[in-house]
């Protein structure tokens, strides 16, 4: 099974249907990889080996009987540990929930299972999906370089997918938590339009910012996962109504980027590190080469939003934790406890003003899409941050980290992160593609065309390939 852990999902699905591989063999192989590799990476909080093997055996029987549930049938995936998963512990990174075993599945998990996916286990995350990991849990290690940040809050998702310990994962994103670990670990990660993917059965951070989405090695795999989980859910009152266009179908409908107007703020280039700027220049050249028109735009001034965003996320976070915090305040990590206490003391007038600034920013971002179809934005100005940066309590308030991620959550737009280069040490460099609401098929199709013209997405961390 040399290197099968890094093969595209459709390639593996073809082997399953041709009888060259069984879902049971594939699942055992992935469980063996987890046992061998994850002892040093700490991406999984819980591995449901017996449940996964049972699901794989059912997939084999169904495929043999001609009951094909689609391309995820028999494919081993994993989910962030804030999604309820029947029979598996769900802690949302909090120590006092370590033994919590839900009796039912979050909608995203139920939909993956309905698509025939094999759920390998639950992936580590920061406490309550914020910045810091609770000291009760090990911190996932970036497989590219242990000295680099693995990203937050979907840290385990980023590490597991990059290391070939699952074929894809469901992460969550409130201000960059799919995009940060995807950028840090060289993945394709998609934060969908707010409300496109149900949050039923998922622990909240800031509900009006929170999104669930796929993290995978490439855009085509991300499309398959998103297709399986997106769509209206009557159990989630914030779920968007209406038909959801297939992202996988969109891959076959677009050739190159012909006719697309891609906006990039050229004035931002001077604030990027030389390596990041060079990677962006090359990515823009590739996009132009495959047919896109590059348009110079100006990203909205976010200084007012930056100054007040704590008045947006903080109160929602405090509300989400209200009942748990009353019972378990002494068991919270210091960073999250301080954030909740600070939010409880916030001036309601400041909260109201912040809501208005959010509306202004959302409108300004919407106006940009009158002139362009897609925006290209950085994730980090200076490449993947060193691991020690997360020790700073001010990390997420630093402009270079969140200036290009949280505004997209505030506006509810979809954003896709993909690798576009590497730094001098071989660590991934990344960009974001941001589109109008419900433009996921366009973003994924464009990312797929870019990846057909480049090979960044097929590079993997040393020590995680089968040859190693």
- Catalytic residue numbers read 80, 153, 177
Residue 72, Cβ neighbours under 10 Å: how many? 27
| DSSP SS3 for 353 | helix
| Cβ-based neighbours of 399, under 8 Å, separated by 6 or more | 306
Residue 409, Cβ neighbours under 10 Å: how many? 27
C-alpha 70/C-alpha 224 separation (Å) is 9
Q: Rounded to whole angstroms, what are the CA distances from 87 to 63, 102, 452?
A: 25, 6, 40
Residue 288, Cβ neighbours under 10 Å: how many? 13
DSSP letter for 19, please.
T
C-alpha 110/C-alpha 228 separation (Å) is 10
Answer left, alpha or beta for residue 170, where phi above 0 means left and psi between -120 and 50 means alpha. beta
C-alpha 229/C-alpha 427 separation (Å) is 31
DSSP letter for 129, please.
G
| Cβ-based neighbours of 45, under 8 Å, separated by 6 or more | 81, 89, 91, 121, 122, 123, 124, 125, 137, 156
Binning the chain into helix, strand and coil, the percentages to the nearest 5 are: 45, 15, 40
DSSP letter for 372, please.
-
**Residue in the block written with tokens 């997209």:** 408
DSSP H helices, 85-178, are: 107-114, 155-162
C-alpha 4/C-alpha 408 separation (Å) is 35
Peptide bond into 461 cis (omega under 30): no
Provide the token pair at 446.
């464009």
- Spell out the long-range contacts of 338-347 with Cβ–Cβ below 8 A and sequence spacing 24 or more: 338/393, 339/130, 339/314, 342/310, 342/314, 343/310, 343/314, 343/315, 343/317, 343/318, 344/318, 346/310, 346/311, 346/314, 346/315
């Amino acid at each position: 099974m040399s290197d099968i852990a890094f093969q595209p999902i459709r390639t593996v699905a073809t082997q399953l249907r041709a009888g060259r591989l069984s879902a049971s063999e594939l699942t055992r192989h992935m469980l063996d990889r987890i046992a061998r590799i994850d002892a040093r990476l700490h991406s999984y909080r819980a591995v449901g080996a017996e449940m996964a093997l049972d699901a794989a055996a059912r997939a084999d029987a169904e495929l043999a009987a001609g009951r094909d549930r689609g391309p995820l049938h028999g494919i081993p995936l994993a989910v962030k540990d804030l999604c309820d998963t029947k029979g598996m512990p769900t802690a949302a990174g909090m120590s006092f929930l370590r033994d919590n075993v839900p009796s039912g599945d979050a909608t995203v998990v139920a939909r993956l299972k309905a698509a025939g996916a094999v759920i390998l286990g639950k992936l580590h995350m920061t406490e309550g999906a914020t910045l810091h990991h609770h000291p009760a849990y090990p911190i996932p290690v970036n497989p590219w370089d242990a000295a680099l940040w693995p990203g937050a809050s979907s840290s385990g998702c980023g590490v597991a997918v990059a290391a070939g310990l699952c074929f894809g994962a469901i992460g969550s994103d409130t201000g960059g938590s799919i995009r940060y670990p995807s950028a840090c670990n060289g993945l394709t990660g998609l934060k969908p339009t707010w409300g496109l993917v149900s949050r039923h059965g998922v622990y909240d951070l800031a509900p009006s910012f929170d999104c669930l989405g796929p993290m995978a090695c490439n855009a085509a795999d991300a499309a398959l996962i998103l297709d399986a989980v997106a769509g209206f859910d009557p159990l989630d009152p914030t779920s968007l109504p209406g038909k959801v266009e297939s992202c996988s179908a969109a891959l076959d409908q677009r050739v190159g980027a012909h006719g697309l107007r891609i906006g990039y703020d050229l004035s931002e280039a001077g604030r990027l590190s030389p390596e990041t700027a060079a990677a962006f220049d090359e990515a823009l050249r590739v996009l132009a080469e495959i047919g896109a028109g590059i348009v110079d735009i100006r990203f909205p001034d976010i200084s007012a939003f930056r100054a007040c965003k704590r008045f947006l996320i903080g109160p929602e976070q405090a509300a989400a934790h209200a009942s748990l915090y009353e019972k378990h305040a002494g068991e919270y990590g210091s960073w999250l406890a301080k954030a909740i206490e600070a939010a409880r003391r916030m001036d309601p007038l400041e909260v109201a003003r912040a809501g208005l600034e959010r509306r202004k920013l959302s409108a300004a971002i919407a106006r940009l899409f009158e002139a362009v179809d897609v925006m290209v934005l950085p994730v980090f100005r200076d490449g993947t941050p060193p691991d020690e940066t997360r020790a700073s309590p001010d990390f997420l308030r630093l402009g270079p980290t969140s200036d290009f991620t949280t505004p997209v959550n505030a506006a509810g737009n979809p954003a896709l992160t993909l690798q576009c280069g590497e730094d001098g040490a071989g660590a991934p460099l990344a960009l974001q593609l941001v589109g109008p609401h419900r433009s996921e098929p366009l973003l994924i199709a464009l990312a797929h065309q870019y990846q057909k013209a480049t090979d960044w997405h097929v590079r993997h961390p040393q020590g995680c390939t089968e040859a190693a």
